[in-house]
Amino acid sequence: MRRRSLLGISAAVVVLAAGLVTGASAQADEAPDVTVSTSELTATAELGGSAEAALTFANHGTEARKVILGESAGDFTMQRAGAARKDVKGAANPHRLTAGTDRGDGTADKGTEAQLAEAPWESITAHPEPVMDNLVSVGPGGKVYSAGGVSNAAMVATVRAYDPVSGVWNTVAPMSTVREKPTGGFVDGKLYVTGGWTNSGSPVETTEVYDPQQDTWSKAAANPEPLAAAASAVLDGKLYTVGGCDKNVCGHTTVQSYDPAAGTWSAHAPYPEPVSWTSCGAIAGRLYCAGGFTDAGGATAGTYTYDPGTDSWAKLRDMPESLWASGFTAAGGRLLVSGGSSGEVYTNAGYQYDPAADAWSALPNSGQASYRGGSACGLYRIGGSTGGFAGTTYAELLPGHDSCGSGVDWLTPDPAEFVLEPGQERAVTVTMDSANLAQPGSYTASLTVGTDRGDRVDPVRVIFKVTAPGQWGKVKGTVTSATCADGGAGAIGAATVTLSADGFHRVLRTGRDGTYALWIGEHSGPLTVIVAKDQWRARTTDVRLKGGETSDVSFALEPYPFCPKG
């Protein structure tokens, strides 16, 4: 969360729906103690400017309440089911790679080639080699990093970076040691990696730090209790790890955090049950974890939340089924869990947990039934196993779930934490700042509300309308084929659109409907637009943008050398 000046640009503010919001309570017939004066805030500012809005909280109870405000970007939209559910029978193994490991039928492991995802999941460029037990995290510029794991039945130290703009995987500097199922994540622009099995079978104590600006690794404080197959999440600038496996046993209650600013590890209240291969995420100042596995008890559906303020865990509603080694992240104020194993099958099913309602609902089924892959904000799923220790090249994305992290750059409530005495009201100022936003448009977020007594208050929807400066122009268009879609004009998705002018260069991808759009500031000379895609003839044109106007630049591409299949 950041606050910035108005930069001398005026801003208009409109506050909507001033009626009292009661929210959900622990009992349907009970009114919540903490209420908020509005369900929605709307503000408007020109790009580069800021706006402020206000709302009021009240405590109707008989005891003081500490109120904690958080932010999650974007709106939650219920998506269709996606692919049909797939459950593939197989004896899932929670332990590490050992010499001579095969599929159990005497055949050697062979990596599986990439498959296509099924809507609403989208396939991205396949990982360069089969991989499983890899750490995946999203870094600066939205690049997706896959570190370590197992490839073709061998532990690796390899690190790859996927650029979602170009669709290309690049090899970056490797880690200093091989790691199978390490834990880690990006904190302040650097990737912290710890734990994971090495060839000796013991988890790695060394903590390594990757700087993507320098493409170099360095070392941080050693992990006092290293484990493999631990879940991780970044909360309040610290990397938390939950549960995991040692050399021989899967299922520990260990909870730790690493603070990069202090360079120290800290132990926290143990997890309520031994666990490994669990799914965790940070939402509104708390950790949320679900599912997992223990040698003693098998798969679990247990769901818990951790409050760093009280260093304590609390039980929540169980996941609809027991899953472990799933893909997971927190996005849009929800914990997302996709795929994994129930112990007897690998599945492509998934679920999402809503802390405000203490309720689970279905996620769209992904394209492939697998477990032990890497996952990150997006929701990205990279690699994984469909049996054995070979891994797959499978790489997919569930769009609309990229609003991760502990805050929203353009949204700042002040104060973010405060105590309400019984009968007291407190005004909160909400600043919306477009200084770091790249494009005009309508930005949405939610202001989440939590208390130290667990009151359930509905999030406040925030809409920030950012208008284009007067000198900016907009270019938009649709890329189609007039000859390869049953005689009609078929949309060409994922085409590359390159926009260039003096002092300006930007690369876009068309959506599924073949469309693209971009607002562009002042530049000299005409704008050159080039559209290209494999198996289609590239086309180019020049256009002069005018301030405040929209230029439609659409293309109908010819196939080369013949119409693409499918």
Q: Which residues face 491 on adjacent strands?
A: 480
CA separation for the pair 24, 504 (Å, rounded): 49
Query: What domains, with CATH codes, occur in the chain?
Result: 11-74+407-467 (2.60.40.10), 136-401 (2.120.10.80), 473-557 (2.60.40.1120)
- Residues 53 and 256: their CA atoms lie apart, in Å, by 38
pLDDT tens, position by position, for the chain (566 residues)?
333 322 222 233 333 222 333 333 333 345 678 999 999 999 999 999 999 999 999 999 999 999 988 776 654 443 455 678 888 887 788 999 886 554 333 333 455 555 667 778 988 999 999 999 999 999 988 899 999 999 989 999 999 999 987 889 999 999 999 999 999 999 999 999 999 999 999 999 999 999 999 999 999 999 999 999 999 999 989 999 999 999 999 999 999 999 999 999 999 999 999 999 999 999 878 999 999 999 999 999 999 999 998 999 999 999 999 999 999 999 877 899 999 998 789 999 999 998 877 889 999 999 889 999 999 998 999 999 988 888 999 999 998 777 676 567 789 999 988 999 999 999 999 999 998 787 888 888 888 787 877 677 888 989 999 999 988 889 999 999 877 754 445 888 888 899 988 878 888 888 778 899 988 886 667 899 999 988 899 999 999 888 888 999 999 999 888 887 65
Buried-state track 321-331, b at ≥16 Cβ within 10 A, e below 16 = ebbbbbbbbbb
Strand 555-557 with 473-485, pairing = parallel
CB 394 within 8 A of CB 370: yes
Antiparallel, parallel or unpaired: β 40-46 and 457-467: parallel
Output the CA angle 250-180-341, nearest 5 degrees: 55
Closest by Cα among 303, 297, 308 to 321: 303
Whole-angstrom Cα distance, residue 129 to residue 154?
Answer: 12
E-strand ranges in 180-272 read 183-187, 190-194, 207-211, 216-220, 231-235, 238-242, 255-259, 264-267
Query: Residue 368's pLDDT is what?
Result: 87
Cross-strand partners of 328: 337
Please, what is the end-to-end C-alpha distance for the chain in angstroms?
A: 45
Measured distance CA(397)–CA(176) in Å, rounded: 29
Under 8 Å CB-to-CB from 528, ≥6 apart: which residues? 498, 499, 500, 501, 540, 541, 542
CB 524 within 8 A of CB 449: no
Q: Which residues contact 2 (CB under 8 A, 6 or more apart)?
A: 409, 412, 433, 436
Q: So what's the pLDDT on residue 478?
A: 95
Residue identified by tokens 């409050």 is 307
Query: Which tokens go with 177?
Result: 């040691």
d(CA 265, CA 238): 10
- Measured CA to CA, the distance from residue 551 to residue 524 in angstroms comes to 16
Task: Give the span between the Cα atoms of 139 and 164, in whole angstroms.
Answer: 12
Backbone angles phi, psi at 321, to 5 degrees: -150, 160
d(CA 184, CA 175): 13
Closest CA to 171 of 129, 133, 135, 140: 129
Q: d(Cα 310, Cα 305) in Å, to the nearest integer?
A: 12
Is the pTM above the cut of 0.95?
no
Instruction: Please state, in angstroms and rounded to a whole number, the distance separating the CA atoms of residues 497 and 518.
Output: 11
Give the gyration radius of the chain's Cα atoms. 25
Which pLDDT does position 15 carry in this prediction? 32
Contact 494, 507 (CB under 8 A): no
Instruction: Identify the CA nearest to 475 among candidates 537, 539, 547, 533.
Output: 547
Task: Give the list of residues 6+ apart from residue 82 with CB closer than 8 angstroms, or none.
Answer: 118, 119, 120, 121, 363, 364, 365, 366, 367
CB atoms within 10 A of CB 161: 19
Q: 70 in helix, strand or coil? A: strand
| Measured distance CA(268)–CA(202) in Å, rounded | 23
Q: How many residues does the chain have?
A: 566
Token output for 340: 């994994």
- Name 165's Cβ contacts closer than 8 Å, sequence gap at least 6: 142, 507, 509
- CA angle 201/202/204 to nearest 5° reads 125
